[in-house]
Amino acid sequence: MVVNHFLKWVHTAKVAQRSAAAAALARAYVNHDLPFEDRCAAEAALTLLLDDPSSKVRLTLADALSMSHHAPPQIINALASDQAEVAALVLARSPLLTDADLTDRFVSCEPSLRKVIAGRPNVSVQLAAVIAEIGDADVCADLLGNTGAAIASISMKRIAERHGDVPHVREAMMACPLLPADCRHMLVVKVGEALSAAPLVVALMGRARAERVTREACAKASITLIDGTHIEEYPALVEHLRLSGELTPSFLVRTVAYGKIDFFGSVLAVLSGQSATRVTAVLAGGRDVAVVALLRSARLPAGIHSVVLQALKVWREVANGKRVAGAQEVTWLMLSELGDPPADRELAALIRSVHLDTLRENARSHALAIAAA
């Protein structure tokens, strides 16, 4: 009877009265405060309110129903397609909207509503994949900042590929603890590309020097990246570096010089096709002949074999507790292996550069330690 009275009264009531009545009826419906027959009539009345000419009434309706698991699904879907102010409440909150509903709405809605969808309390892997594929930079940044979003590695990669050159997207990605190592490297490269192309940098250094300096900085950053990468992720990072052309002999010499032997082993396993167990055994205790055979099967240039062998011998002794040494000592011994004058000047220049970097790093650390004492 109450609903019958409401249906007769609603056509003549003012907007404020209709809004208050809509809120009361919606709350009674979702709280199961009505008998079954009145509940059916209430659903019909709520559905009728979807045609109310005032957005304030529909907004009140959306607010009352948006968080309920018991709201009529046809009303929720209609409100989700309403004007932005009304739809935002439902798209942000409603647990009744499926991934298919949200995907359809995301594809067709305006940018402000895309941000609302990306910020939902729970975003599934499937929905996150859609957002990563077609969302703009701001929307993807919102997705990355959403702790309730489940984002697959492939979706992370797509965001990095599409928006990795946008500073606030890079910042959001780097802040994500689950960001895969290959995506982190991709972002490092994007930063390098942006710096080398910056007008001020080009004007100060010249394009050729800017590109060289940036390339060296990216190589150093990639070495640092290895430290923050779980060993289980090494094969994926190696494959990414290989496909991007970053897995160069000079980069591998750097990895050995800095003692990243586990990562170097993953590289050799990928390039040689041998098992990781076999490669690890050879690097850990194999004779020089076995190590050289492994390097050859990985098609590493013969010119770097001797310095790699020298570095491996030192790092083995360090690992076995027979020696205390770091990259500074290792690179000095690698340089000595090349002779004076060096047989390969380019390789010697690379190792000397790494040696000088380690000297600076060690001196800086020593100075800071003295200052802190």
Does some domain include residue 319?
Answer: no
Q: What mean pLDDT comes out for the span 112-139?
A: 94
Give the pLDDT confidence score for residue 140 in this predicted structure. 95
Q: What mean pLDDT comes out for the span 346-373?
A: 84
d(CA 349, CA 371): 33
C-beta of residue 276 within 8 angstroms of C-beta of residue 264: no
C-beta of residue 224 within 8 angstroms of C-beta of residue 169: no
Does some domain include residue 211?
Answer: yes
Residue 118 has pLDDT above 90, yes or no: yes
Confidence of residue 239 (pLDDT cuts 50, 70, 90): confident
Does some domain include residue 348?
Answer: no
- What are phi and psi for residue 12, nearest 5 degrees? -110, -10
C-beta of residue 46 within 8 angstroms of C-beta of residue 73: no
d(CA 363, CA 253): 23
pLDDT digits (tens, 9 = 90+) for 73-110: 999 999 999 999 999 999 999 999 999 999 999 999 99
CA torsion angle 169 170 175 177 (round to 10): 100
On average, the pLDDT of the chain sits at: 86
Does some domain include residue 163?
Answer: yes
C-beta of residue 362 within 8 angstroms of C-beta of residue 338: no
C-beta of residue 131 within 8 angstroms of C-beta of residue 140: yes
Tokens of 298: 């990985």
Q: What mean pLDDT comes out for the span 132-137?
A: 93
Does some domain include residue 14?
Answer: yes
Domain co-membership, 171 together with 200? no
- What are phi and psi for residue 241, nearest 5 degrees? -65, -35
Q: Which residues 6+ apart lie within 8 Å of 14 measured at CB?
A: none
Domain co-membership, 144 together with 236? no
pTM above 0.75, yes or no: no
Give the structural domain span for 190: 180-240
| Domain boundary pick from 189, 207, 240 | 240
Give the pLDDT confidence score for residue 188 in this predicted structure. 75
| Domain boundary pick from 220, 240, 260 | 240
d(CA 122, CA 230): 27
Domain co-membership, 77 together with 164? no
Domain co-membership, 24 together with 48? yes
Residue 259 has pLDDT above 70, yes or no: yes
User: In DSSP terms, which residues pair with 149 in a beta bridge?
Assistant: 123
| Domain boundary pick from 58, 74, 97 | 97
Confidence of residue 209 (pLDDT cuts 50, 70, 90): low
DSSP symbol at 80:
H
pLDDT digits (tens, 9 = 90+) for 8-37: 666 667 888 888 888 888 888 888 767 777
DSSP symbol at 149:
B
Domain co-membership, 19 together with 93? yes
Q: What total of structural domains would you count in the chain? A: 3
- What's the sign of the alpha-carbon dihedral 206, 209, 212, 213? negative
Does some domain include residue 298?
Answer: no
- Is 163 strand, coil or helix? helix
> Which residue reads 């990669």 in tokens?
157
- What's the sign of the alpha-carbon dihedral 364, 367, 371, 373? positive
Give the pLDDT confidence score for residue 201 in this predicted structure. 58
Q: What mean pLDDT comes out for the span 137-154?
A: 92
Does some domain include residue 192?
Answer: yes
Does some domain include residue 12?
Answer: yes
Confidence of residue 252 (pLDDT cuts 50, 70, 90): very high
Confidence of residue 1 (pLDDT cuts 50, 70, 90): very low
Residue 361 has pLDDT above 70, yes or no: yes
